[in-house]
Amino acid sequence: MPVSVVLGAALAVSAPAMAPASQPMAMAPTADFAPCADAGTFAELSGSLCLVHRAPLRAPGPAVGKAADSVDLFIRKFPAAGRSRGSVWLVAGGPGESGASFYPFLATLRASFPGFDLIVPDHRGTGYSTRLCPAEEAVGSAGGAGLEGAEWGSCWGGLNAAPDYARAFSITNAAHDLAEMIAAHRRPGPTYVYGVSYGTQLVLRTLEVGRPSVEGVILDSLVPPEATERWDLSRRSEVANAVGLELLRRCDAEPACRQRPGGSAQDGLRRLEASADERLLSQIPGKNLRQFFGGLLDDPAARARIPDLIGQFSRGDTSGLVALNAEAERQAVRFGRYPQAPASVPLVSIISVSENDARPDLTKQQVASEQGALLFASPLPGYLVDPGLPLYARDEHFGRLPTRLPKTLVLQGTLDPKTPFDGASAQVEQLKLAGKVSLTPVADAPHFILMTAPGCFEETVRRFVAGGRKNAACLAKVTAATP
């Protein structure tokens, strides 16, 4: 059964589960923003305003009153200090991530969009919005907003008993949601939309199906073209492996780095994976070294330890795992402490397999065979195989892009192991046919520039919003994901 990784928790080590909230927020459709019931829970939520927007279960369609035919969409607003210059809608990634994934980065976002209201919706199926499994994914349930124990079976069983309901949680319906929310809650001043990772796919679909009026768009870690099979999710291991090999090549080219693994890092990792004993594998999640090292590529601090870990593991020394586990615990606290934070695994599965898997006949054996030829791998291709959930057919919007775009900025790490730089570049070339699109490469950065290169993010976005000259490239130092 697939497991979704909380945005930013990139380390492939065990992390503690977060306790569910004892007092879940009472939510009902509202006409306007009002003080959030949980505004006093965390300092960063102080002063936030909340609203619940009701939308059709299947779009396009009129507003509906019956809960069975609709979804309720939770929106949180962080008002600007003083008079607002406009609004920025922050669209989370995943799929399956809620708007809570942005809460740790509010300081950077406020500095990047000075004077703007920050508006953070939870996609349908995530956070405090209507969930695919309302009972099992309720904040007050046994596993909180995540799934735990028997909740897995009852959630999967309920969705298979109501396949039409499950299939309504599609990208296109979510795109109509976002377009409708932007139009319904527009305020004076320019409106910008920022999306990250899967959020870039959702933003582009929104601009194609709903055509909301916005001043500009910022796309962080842009997905490749939908109809191009080279970079689909079933090939995520190949994407990660290419980034990992580049890092090992650079290490092998530097005498000081070569000393850390005791010689060639690439040769050392190949020998390690070919001869790893049970003692080492028993301490590695899933006993899979390729996926372990692939998971380290997402975080700059973790990937910098790879040469040392190769040397340590080759000598039978597993002490380096202690630091990685401590890092994972800090990540879990940072990203998972909000009750709405746990990702929706059923939503991840339904959207990923329905829309972004170009090889629906892929087997577990084929996945294992393909990963066996690599040094770095991702667990994602294995999760695509037979998810056991109702899937939906790609609709007429798949592979299409907006015919007109507002000014658009793309921020892309050159060492992104999830949405590869070449794929983003190919997407940019297609988008340029619809409007003014600029690509800012962020040198050596992995995924999620807001998190991994906040200095670059702030500098480039501020200039973009102000209408100034764009950066041809951003060379600011990438940082660890923890504060």
204-258 confidence digits (pLDDT tens): 999 999 888 999 999 999 999 999 999 999 999 999 999 999 999 999 999 999 9
Angle, CA of 195, 197 and 198, to the nearest 5°: 90
Q: Give the pLDDT mean for 406-412.
A: 97
DSSP run (H or E) holding 440: strand 437-442
Longest Cα–Cα distance of the chain, Å, equals: 68
Please give the mean pLDDT across all residues of the chain: 90
Domain locations in the chain? Answer: 34-230+397-466
Read off the pLDDT of residues 320-364 as tens digits, 9 standing for 90 and up.
Answer: 998 888 888 888 887 888 999 999 999 999 999 999 999 999 999
- How many Å apart are CA 309 and CA 179, to the nearest integer? 47
Q: Does the pLDDT value for residue 4 go beyond 90?
A: no
pTM for this model (two decimals):
0.92
CB 302 within 8 A of CB 296: yes
Dihedral of CA atoms 287, 234, 342, 329 in degrees, nearest 10, equals 40
> Which pLDDT belongs to residue 30?
75
CA atoms within a 13 Å half-sphere pointing along the CA-CB vector of 44: 17
| Higher-pLDDT residue of 6, 66 | 66
Q: Does the pLDDT value for residue 8 go beyond 80?
A: no
Phi, psi dihedral angles at 219 (to 5 degrees): -115, 115
Q: Give the pLDDT mean for 388-405.
A: 96
> Which pLDDT belongs to residue 27?
63
The 70-78 sheet, strands edge to edge: 34-35, 49-56, 70-78, 116-121, 86-91, 191-196, 216-220, 407-413, 437-442
Angle, CA of 295, 298 and 304, to the nearest 5°: 90
> Which pLDDT belongs to residue 65?
57
> Which pLDDT belongs to residue 13?
34
> Which pLDDT belongs to residue 335?
83
> Which pLDDT belongs to residue 64?
58
Query: Letter for the amino acid at 347?
Result: L
Phi, psi dihedral angles at 439 (to 5 degrees): -110, 125
- How many Å apart are CA 14 and CA 11, to the nearest integer? 8
Q: To the nearest 5 percent, what fractions of the chain are helix, strand and coil?
A: 40, 10, 45
Domain 34-230+397-466, classified CATH 3.40.50.1820, yes or no:
yes
Q: Does the pLDDT value for residue 483 go beyond 70?
A: no
Q: Does the pLDDT value for residue 66 go beyond 80?
A: no
DSSP-derived pairing of the beta strands 116-121 and 70-78 = antiparallel
Q: Determine what percent of the chain is predicted with pLDDT higher than 70.
A: 90
Note if the bond before 95 is cis, omega within 30 degrees: yes
Q: Does the pLDDT value for residue 14 go beyond 80?
A: no
Phi, psi dihedral angles at 14 (to 5 degrees): -70, 140
Query: Residue 395, Cβ neighbours under 10 Å: how many?
Result: 14
Cα–Cα distances (Å) from 331 to 5, 64, 119, 256, 416, in that order, read: 11, 40, 24, 30, 19
Residue with tokens 């109809």: 227
pLDDT confidence band for 17 (50 / 70 / 90) = very low
Q: Is the sign of the CA dihedral 3, 160, 156, 178 positive or negative? A: positive
Q: Give the pLDDT mean for 262-269.
A: 96
Q: Does the pLDDT value for residue 389 go beyond 90?
A: yes
Question: Which range among 56-60, 153-157, 299-303, 479-483 shows the weakest confidence by mean pLDDT?
Answer: 479-483
